[in-house]
Structure 1
Amino acid sequence: MKRSDIQYQDCIKILEEELLPAMGCTEPIAVAYCAAVARETLGEAPDRVVVEASGNIIKNVKSVIVPNTGHLRGIPAAAAAGIVAGDAGKQLEVIAEVSEAQQADIRTFMETVPIQVEIASSPLIFDINVIVYAGESYAKVRIANYHTNIVLIEKDGEVLQSSEIKDDSESDLTDRSFLSVELIYDFANTVELEDVKKVLDVQIDYNMAISEEGLKSDYGANIGSVLLKANKDVMEHGGESALRLKARAMAAAGSDARMNGCELPVIINSGSGNQGITASVPVIVYARAMGVSQEKLYRALVLSNLLGIHQKTPIGRLSAYCGAINAGAAAGCGIAYLKGADLDGIIHTLVNALAIASGVVCDGAKASCAGKIALAVDNGILGYEMHLEGQQFVGGDGIVKKGVENMIASVGRLGHDGMAETDREILRIMISD
């Protein structure tokens, strides 16, 4: 693929749109961002706050710790953090810099200012409305469809910014419909590294740093540490089994940390920090252990990141389908690429991985995400190992379809349409206590 090709340029744009820095789980951070913009628009401290959020937002914010708040959880904490200490100009790093005094102010704000949370009467999967009041004055900000997409800013009846929203489509982003596994493989092999180096260097630095922090400290269920401690004999013997274990443990540890209050940023993929970690960290771990060139690592990360985006596009940003499964399958393909797999090997790795574990549910952001990530990475690697042994799942095996693009569409239909009612039931279960 040539740099002058439109599809080449669009692949670069997609990577730049998707591989963004974020502090903490992206849904509470989106709430904080929305609240920070509302506070900025109001121009004074509010005396009342209303947050209207779609069910998937509530699901993903309910159990996760909001960073830089002193381990507070939930939508009220996210909104309060954005209002009290948010820097709206930093978008998904809106509460990256919060002083101890501001943390105390966040708690005080939550204790003294009513923060009402309601389920939005909206057909959209991703929808956040924050309304802040000061006496008779108010400001309203709405984010829809993806984490930084502000579609409404209104103050005291005057609409300051507005975009029409008809459905869940992401019209403001580069169209992804041209993506295919074959095109992504071609792009990964031919991309000029200077076009992707900057964004990938940050991904490597950020995502490895939070994974290392997750192994060093006590976060959540400590899945990464549990894996390593429970398999000391494997690590002591080294070899491929130890490398595979380390890749799983480090990816899980990154999630352990970010789900449970770590104040380090990550580079996200498809709107998710967990997916960003899963698609990148195992590939980096393997590349370093194998001693491959930096160029080979960059190309493997391009492949893995774009495959993650391609799989997630038909499913949507939020779903009852666990996106870590897609990212783990993509990481398996990145590892296969490092090991010399050709296009056929990448295709079979992806199909095998999706055939095994598609259907793992997303029940919100919380500590158990790390366990699902460990499973997803193992699953992706198994998909490649099956290919090496001449084994594969074929069209007609369950939801498996002949042709990798048909398989991706099959899983997309499962995640977007088939699990819609599952998504609603998960939310009902989560809020029933």
Structure 2
Amino acid sequence: MVRTDDVYQKYVSVLEEELLPAMGCTEPIAIAYAAAKAREVLGDVPERVFLAASGNIIKNVKSVVVPNTGHMRGIYAAVAAGIVAGKADKQLEVIASVTPEEIEKIKEYMKTTEIKVDLADSGLIFDIDITVYKGNDSARVRIVDNHTNIVLIQKGEDVILSKEISKDNKANNITDRSFMSVEGILDFADSVEIADIEHLISRQIEYNMAIAEEGLKNSYGANIGSVLLASNKSVLEQGGEAAIKLKARAMAAAGSDARMNGCELPVIINSGSGNQGITASVPVVVYARELGIDKEKMYRALVLSNLLAIHQKTPIGRLSAYCGVVNAGVGAGCGITYLKGGRLDEIEHTLVNSLAIASGVICDGAKASCAAKIGLAVENGIMGYEMYCQGQQFVGGDGIVKTGVENMIASVGRLGREGMRETDKEILKIMLDN
């Protein structure tokens, strides 16, 4: 594949669209972004706010700490932070530069302002619809499909922006992903000019390793990363492959520990998720550094891991009852396979084996236990490769396993998108049943 190929440019575009910086869990940040934009359109601080959000948004915002709010959690904190201190032009870094004085104003605003939240009845998986009021004036902003895809801006009765919402719930402003394949992704990873992706991958390494290190250094959430290291000291002392795998799991989990529990460091996301961005990158970096892999090969392995995570997640959709870190962990396992010299056969078997093991891990929103799921996902991705090395594999007909890697990805995509819809509804009912 060469730079002038259309497919080459599409792969670059996908990475540019997906490897974006974000501070905090992306769903509350998307709410804060919508709120900041609505206040900007209104031109004043609202005295009333009404938010309608889809079930998956509510699920992912309910329990997570919103950064730069003094460790407040949930939807109301996200709305208030966006209105009081948000800078809409920063998009997913909308509340990255909140001052201590503004944190106090956010708390006061929550106490004194009517903020009503309801379940959106649009039937869309990803829907944030906020209307703000000041006297007789109002402004409305709606985000659909992905975290920054504004489809409606309205001030009073005047429609400033209106975009058609596609019936299949696909975003209108991203590259069509139907061209992607495991074989094509490997070809691109092998042939990409490093200069074309260096700014994206170097930033991902810098941001995601920094938050992983922060998660190990200080106390966040359930401290899964630290628990893994503390309970396996003998493994670290012995060194070798087992120690590297342990470090990879622990550092990825630690990044989520910090991110889910109020750390104010940014991450580079993947498929709209910071946890998926951490999972697809941190284990690959840990392995590359521990094995003394050169920078270029590490970058190529990260390109592979990121794109495979995106490829798997595309048929499932941005939000689902299916935990997306499973896909990202599979991507990381394939990236590690690449670092060890694996080619298409090894990568395909790693991917199929890994998906066969852990597909079906549920997403019950963003919170501390995401870090434990990341530890599981990384272990799972590596196990898929270890099975191949031992001459073991799952074959078509084993449960949902299909013959052919693309068929397997489609099979799991169908499970996450269609099969788990009722599961998703039941998860939300359980979470809201206080």
| Alignment TM class, shorter chain as reference | over 0.9
- Paired letter, 2:84: V
Residue in 2 that maps onto 1:146: 146
How far did 1:166 drift?
Answer: 3.1
Spell out, residue by residue over 1:242-267, the C-alpha distance to the aligned partner (whole angstroms, 9 max, x if none): 10000000000000000000000000
Stretches of structure 2 lacking an aligned partner (at least 5 in a row): none
Q: Which residue of 1 aligns with 2:126?
A: 126
The residue aligned with 1:7 is: 7
Give 1:123 deviation, angstroms: 1.2
Aligned equivalent of 1:90: 90
Question: Matched residues in 1 for 2:170 and 2:20: separation?
Answer: 20
Secondary structure of 2:364 counterpart: coil
Task: Report the Cα distance in structure 2 between the residues aligned to 1:73 and 1:100, rounded to whole angstroms.
Answer: 17
Counterpart of 2:78 in structure 1 is: 78
Aligned Cα root-mean-square deviation (Å) = 0.4
Structure 2 residue 115 is the aligned partner of structure 1 residue 110: no
SS, match of residue 80 in structure 2:
helix
Provide the residue aligned with 2:296 in structure 1: 295
Once the two structures are superposed, the pairs formed by residues 46-85 of structure 1 within 5 Å of their partners are 46-85=46-85
Q: How far apart in 2 are the matches of 1:391 and 1:349?
A: 10
SS of the aligned residue for 2:125 comes to coil
Q: In the TM superposition, what whole-angstrom CA distance separates every residue of 1:134-161 from its partner, at most 9, and x where no partner exists?
A: 0110000000000000000000110000
Instruction: Tell me what 1:323 maps to.
Output: 324
| AA partner of residue 288 (structure 1) | R
**Which structure 2 residues correspond to residues 178-327 of structure 1 after superposition, within 5 A?**
178-327=179-328
2:113 maps to a residue whose letter is V
Secondary structure of the equivalent of 2:329?
A: helix
Contact 2:144/2:171 (8 A) holds in 1: no
Displacement of 1:169 in angstroms is 1.1
Post-superposition shift, 1:171? 2.6
**8 A contact 2:32–2:80 mirrored in 1:** yes
What amino acid is aligned across from residue 174 of structure 2 in structure 1?
L
Q: Distance in 1 between matches of 2:77 and 2:219?
A: 22
Identity of aligned residues (%): 70
CA distance in 2, matches of 1:397, 1:254: 34
Residues 257-306 of structure 1: CA deviation (Å, up to 9, x unaligned): 00000000000000000000000000000000011110000000000000
8 Å CA contact retained: 2:35, 2:82? yes
- The amino acid of 2:406's aligned partner reads E
Q: Distance in 2 between matches of 1:117 and 1:202?
A: 36
Q: How far apart, in 1, do the equivalents of 2:166 and 2:10 lie? A: 24
Question: What SS class does the counterpart of residue 204 from structure 2 fall into?
Answer: helix
Q: Deviations over 1:105-133 (max 9, x none)?
A: 00000000111000011111000011110
How many residues align? The count is 433
**Separation in structure 2 between the aligned mates of residue 5 and residue 123 of structure 1, nearest angstrom:** 39
| Letter aligned with residue 112 of structure 1 | T
Q: CA deviation at 1:342?
A: 0.9
CA distance in 2, matches of 1:74, 1:155: 27
TM-score of the two chains, using structure 1 as the length reference:
1.00
1:202 deviates by 0.4
CA offsets 1:324-356 (integer angstroms, 9 cap, x no match): 000000000000000000110000000000000
Could you say what secondary structure the match of 1:65 adopts? coil
Letter in 2 for 1:412: G
Map of 2:36 onto structure 1 = 36
Q: Distance in 1 between matches of 2:399 and 2:122?
A: 34
Consecutive unaligned residues of structure 1, counting only runs of 5 or more, are none
What's the secondary structure of 1:51's corresponding residue? Answer: strand
Counterparts of 1:144 and 1:133 in 2: how far apart (Å)?
21
Give the TM-score taking structure 2 as reference length: 0.99
